[in-house]
Structure 1
């Protein structure tokens, strides 16, 4: 069993990471939590199944022996989950890896492409023997029905004809995620489009990959519908794959009277439409149309990704779905959508880093 610590005591750590770690109790034993403030660290530890066994570490107030460096110096902690503000994470990831800890860090891999490339380059340059595993937590890649949709695509076969990603949300001023200081006044590109948008890009990429396609060009417009969602909250874009297949990407966190998330892939032999709770398959064979629908109970995928992290530690190799370079591809698409919008629908090339 691996001793693990949660670095960050925000909403997602409380509602997703803590129960995921405790459910995966055959792989991990929660030893400690860290947060900027003593009160939030205490709150997270108290919410655990065995609060007396979970040590707390914090920056404020400053107490000798209870800072982050002290946590990372513990020999009984081999791994950490980092769920901190986007711009804070890279330095903490480095610090944890330098301390010899395996790291599962929340998406996005960094606040921008340049920072992500530098961080990944630094990690890759470290000597291989005994190097800790660094995995990036993109829970959408671990949602069961998304895997099911990918399997249906492979089963249908054919060549991709077109595709679409449609996501509409309305983040109100009283939203619990909005009311965290670092999200309310974002110092990183895209605001909620970066923070949440990488999830939806990951879903699109996974399903396009099942059809043998990767996005290679992007062009889009961006705008701000709700003033509290600075700097932008909406993107409407067109994407083109390596084989010239054209599809659409529509992302909005400022649309009040329309909601939902859907990815559709159309091939020469049928179509698959994915939502978080349903997968629809449409095919035509011998002139006969057939439509199948399968309902699912919503699953965030966080437990599955935490289990995958534990299994990766045991195997000595990161799960392919959690590699930093996989997360880099999500970030690149999102960043280039934003830059295209900033530059009046300039065409942006998607690279292989």
Structure 2
């Protein structure tokens, strides 16, 4: 049986990623779209024959009206970071399954309170809350994870992700991103992808337990900070570095894991392994940004009456904890921070 779904939010990611992903899923049927403005809702729904809801569209078209519909069993919430928790609560309270965009919340305090409320007040087997993270569905990262696992004991790691977010770009010109009220600005919005990627590669056998970081604002238009450089230590004693900047003239990304049996690295969709002195490069085809399989797997789990373990809130909490600890350590001039929520 197909699951009736509504998309909540009419932003760039909903238009470019969520809408086509839902339309391509055999287990999901798009029933409605809600946005804060009629214009954005209509823009998102231009290529979809669905009902439009928004706050400025008159009686019977509010978010609460949408939640009353029995033919809508689930919602995908893609709203500005500070707004997400309120709509997650309202949807879950109405008995709707939720897939909410990352980060889980704008800070750990709110995220932990929301997670605690969900588990205490809801039967998670009947009403599921999932948090989206498309890096967990990139074929290149999944393949690299397999190679890391076979390479044995972890010796060290490094992550380097560099870019320049310029004024005029489609994401920068989004009002809530351009003038952030949430910690870290673009580092929070994009950075949880990269902490999720690191966690996926390291696996649960190499959880990060302590880190120290320095932060900086290189570009005036990217407040409050746009660069972080961190040193991390796992519970096994292995150490590594994590460098992320949205405001540098450095370019490119690299994820490298050194293990007793060899090394594994990712650059774009190329996975390079070095085992027994032999280097091998493999081009891995990712399915777009990872959102199509992310949404597809969510739909499959809902249809089967299960939850997707990759999408549980605790995974998103662990992603956020690493990023928030880096930001807080940076504010404290590199003070070491303990990581207690890693799984």
What is the TM-score of this pair, normalised by structure 1?
A: 0.94
1:159 to 110, 129, 153: 153
In the alignment, structure 1 segments of 5+ residues that lack a partner are none
Residue 273 of structure 2 aligns with which residue?
281
Report the Cα offset of residue 130 of structure 1: 5.9
1:121 to 116, 131, 147: 116
The question of 1:296 aligning with 2:288 is answered no
1:176 to 165, 170, 180: 170
Pairs within 5 Å for 1:131-280:
131-155=126-150, 157-209=151-203, 212-256=205-249, 258-280=250-272
Report the Cα offset of residue 264 of structure 1: 0.7
SS of the aligned residue for 1:64 comes to coil
Residue 98 of structure 1 aligns with which residue?
93
Give CA deviations for 1:51-109 in whole Å, capped at 9, x if unaligned: 2xx00000124x00001111111010000000000010000000001111100000000
SS of the aligned residue for 1:259 comes to strand
The question of 1:59 aligning with 2:55 is answered yes
In the alignment, structure 2 segments of 5+ residues that lack a partner are none
Query: Do the aligned residues in 2 keep the contact of 1:133 with 1:316 (CA within 8 Å)?
Result: no
Give CA deviations for 1:31-52 in whole Å, capped at 9, x if unaligned: 000000001101111133xx2x
Residue 83 of structure 2 aligns with which residue?
88
SS of the aligned residue for 1:239 comes to strand
Residue 4 of structure 2 aligns with which residue?
3
SS of the aligned residue for 1:332 comes to helix
SS of the aligned residue for 1:42 comes to helix
1:347 to 327, 332, 336: 336
Distance 1:158 1:28 in 2: 40
Distance 1:39 1:188 in 2: 26
Distance 2:18 2:124 in 1: 29
Measured on the aligned residues, the alpha-carbon RMSD in Å equals 1.2
Query: Do the aligned residues in 2 keep the contact of 1:108 with 1:331 (CA within 8 Å)?
Result: yes
Report the Cα offset of residue 129 of structure 1: 7.5
Kindly report structure 1 stretches of 4+ aligned residues shifted beyond 6 Å: none
Query: Do the aligned residues in 2 keep the contact of 1:225 with 1:233 (CA within 8 Å)?
Result: yes
SS of the aligned residue for 1:154 comes to helix
Query: Do the aligned residues in 1 keep the contact of 2:139 with 2:285 (CA within 8 Å)?
Result: no
Report the Cα offset of residue 198 of structure 1: 0.2
Query: Do the aligned residues in 1 keep the contact of 2:125 with 2:306 (CA within 8 Å)?
Result: no
Distance 2:198 2:237 in 1: 16
Distance 1:180 1:306 in 2: 24
Distance 1:87 1:20 in 2: 24
Report the Cα offset of residue 316 of structure 1: 2.5
Report the Cα offset of residue 146 of structure 1: 0.7
What is the TM-score of this pair, normalised by structure 2?
A: 0.97
Report the Cα offset of residue 214 of structure 1: 0.7
Distance 1:170 1:317 in 2: 40
